[in-house]
Structure formats: C-alpha cells, structure tokens
Amino acid sequence: MFRYLQILVCFFLAHGCSWGASRPAAVIGTTVASACVVGLFAWKLMHPVIRSSKAPLIPVIPVVPPAPVKMIYPLGDGIGSVELLEVAGNDLGIANAARVSLGKMSPVLSDADSKLIAYLIKNSHGTPFEHNMLKFRIKAPIFVTRQWMRHRVGVSYNEISARYAQLPSEMFIPKVWRKQAKSNRQASGEKFDSPSFTDLSDKTCKEAYATYEALIAGGVAREQARIVLPVSMYTEFYFTCNIRSLMHFLNLRLDANAQPEIQEYAKALLALAEPFFPATFKAFRDNKSLPVVVEKLSTTERK
C-alpha cells in the first residue's frame, strides 16, 4: 500500500512540476506519471506469483554460502584434482522450477520445498534440476577422462590441446595394484602392493615421456609427437554440468562397477557440489533406488 502512495505522490509531483512548465512539458510529465501508475496496478493484478504468495515485489533468493572446500585431490598423488570454479543456482531454484507449473514461487526454501525436491528425485522428475550450473576444472589421467567424456547430455567440456601445448611430465603411477576380477570381466578385484610394478610403470612412463621430448626437440610437431605417450598422462579440462546431469554421472560413476579411479573423481564432485544443493543431495542419498551411499570425504583425501 505504501508503495502505491509513493507512486501517487510522484504522480502529483510530476503533474505539479510540469504545471509550471511549458504546455508540451506538462503533457509529457502527466502522461509518464499516469503510465507508471497504470502499469504498476496492472502488474499487481495480473502477476500470479505476487497474488498467490504475498512475496515481496522482487523476491529475495538467498545466496548459499560457498563450499568450505573448493579443491580435492582424488587420487592422492597431489596431481589429479577436482576444483569447483563456479556455481549458479540452489535448492530453492529447483523447487521454484517445479512450482512454476502451479504459477507459484517461494521466496525462501521451506520444508515443503525440500520435500518437493525429494519427491521429484524419487519419481524421476528431472527437468527442474536443469536450471543451474556447476563449473569444475579437472585434472585427470587420460584413461579416466575417456570414460568421463562418454557423458554427453547436459554437460560441456573444454580440454587442453596437446597440439597447442607440450604436455607436462605428469603421469598417474599406482602404488596399489588390483587383480583382474573373476566374476566381472571388466572389473578389478583384490588389491595388492607391488613396488616393483610401480617402479616398472614409472620407468616405462618416463621413457615414453623422454621419447616425446626428443621428438619435439627434433622438430616433430606436438600433434604427432604425443602418439608415444601413455594413457596414464594427465590431461586437464573444464567440466560444466547441471545438477540433473551431475546426478546421472554420479549414479553411474559412484557405482561399484565403475573403475575405482573414476569413482574417486565422482566422490570429489559430490563432495564439492553437495554444500551448494544440500536438500537435493540429501534426497539423492536417501533415495533407496540409487546405489549411492557415499560417506562425506574425510580431510585426508584433500591435499
């Protein structure tokens, strides 16, 4: 009501000011002030959100505090990393995207909104989870990245080009080895230490890198010299997704059937994203149909 009084005062002021001015100025002033008043009343009458929720004219969407951890080193070698660069959106945006079907909007996240989010996840209503964005910078071995980039929908990638840049001498060398699984022909099983396998792998990778450097030093183009490099080489890329595509990624890559190295990256993505969308990830974890119950990452997994 106060707002309308303010507008009316403006109207009379504009009218009064223009009265003392020349005749065309008076007409323009009166027309502009009248248009403002009529426009505001029309908006108030027509706008279903304002009518239904008694929300302030411009709803205030609270900013979620930034996650305490922004970078995780999933493979524990201090090279492979997952860094959260940017986040747009929050749980409230997801609930409101769903509520738009009813022409409604909440100004703050309520218990009802959290329940709505849980309902959406349980019943596979995915689209309200698409109106947000998480941008990550990833450093991962090429064999992990190949699996990662099979995810195509709702995601964007940009990767370092080994045609433009000489790759640094960074490779993932396991300290713990796994035996071939007996039941699953794709998977690995029992873990074992083998310093000699670690040394042999390290030596082989370093020799390959030395050949790469020699080829470049000898004038071979980077795009051709790289063919001698192993899939353990680290590559770097941007990965931008929405919460729907992230949950799909996590469903597949947190699963016990996924390769353990990409599982570690999936855990890191979850740990970084979760503080920004707590209601969504609570529902994600609670959903019994999902194979995902991952404990919160401990600080030992961070550098």
Q: Interface with ligand FAD by CB under 6 A: which range of 30-38, 49-57, 151-159, 209-217?
A: 151-159
Binding of ligand FAD by 125 (CB under 6 A): no
| First-residue to last-residue Cα distance in the chain | 56
Cβ of residue 80: shortest distance to ligand FAD, in angstroms? 19
The residue within the footprint of ligand FAD, chosen from 151, 226, 282, 302 (CB under 6 A), is 151
By CB under 6 A, what part of segment 218-277 binds ligand FAD?
248, 252, 257-258
182 touches ligand FAD by CB under 6 A: no
Single-letter amino acid code for the residue at 182 = K
CB of 82 to ligand FAD, least distance (A): 18
Nearest approach, Cβ of residue 124 and ligand FAD (Å): 11
Question: Which tokens belong to 142?
Answer: 């090429």
> Does 69 contact ligand FAD by CB under 6 A?
no
Angle at 257 between CA 253 and CA 263, to 5 degrees: 35
Among candidate residues 137, 226, 244, 253, the one labeled active-site is 253
Q: Pick out residues in 85-124 that bind ligand FAD (CB under 6 A).
A: none
Residue type for 229, please? L
Nearer to ligand FAD, 98 or 262 (CB): 262
In this structure, how many other beta carbons lie within 10 angstroms of the beta carbon of residue 197? 15
Tokens representing 273 are: 């994203």
Question: φ, ψ for residue 233 (rounded to 5)?
Answer: -60, 140
CB 107 within 8 A of CB 61: yes
Size of the site for ligand FAD (CB under 6 A): 8
234 phi and psi angles, rounded to 5 deg: -80, 140
Is residue 135 a contact residue for ligand FAD (CB under 6 A)? Answer: no
Q: How far is CA 50 from the centre of its chain?
A: 31
45-56 CB burial, b ≥16 within 10 A, e <16: eeeebbeeeebe
CB closer to ligand FAD, 30 vs 259: 259
Q: Which of 54, 150, 182, 185 binds ligand FAD (CB under 6 A)?
A: 150
> Which CB sits closer to ligand FAD, 85 or 153?
153
For ligand FAD, the binding residue among 153, 181, 210, 227 (CB under 6 A) is 153
Query: Would you report the helix, strand and coil content of the chain in percent, each value rounded to 5?
Result: 50, 15, 35
> Is the Cβ of residue 161 or residue 257 nearer to ligand FAD in the bound state?
257
Q: Is residue 205 within 8 Å of 146, Cβ to Cβ? A: no
The nearer residue to ligand FAD, 193 or 255, going by C-beta atoms, is 255
Give min distance, CB of 295 to ligand FAD, in A: 21
**Which run of H or E residues covers position 141?**
strand 133-141
Is 146 catalytic? The answer is no
Q: Which residues are catalytic?
A: 253
Residues that bind ligand FAD (CB under 6 A): 150-153, 248, 252, 257-258
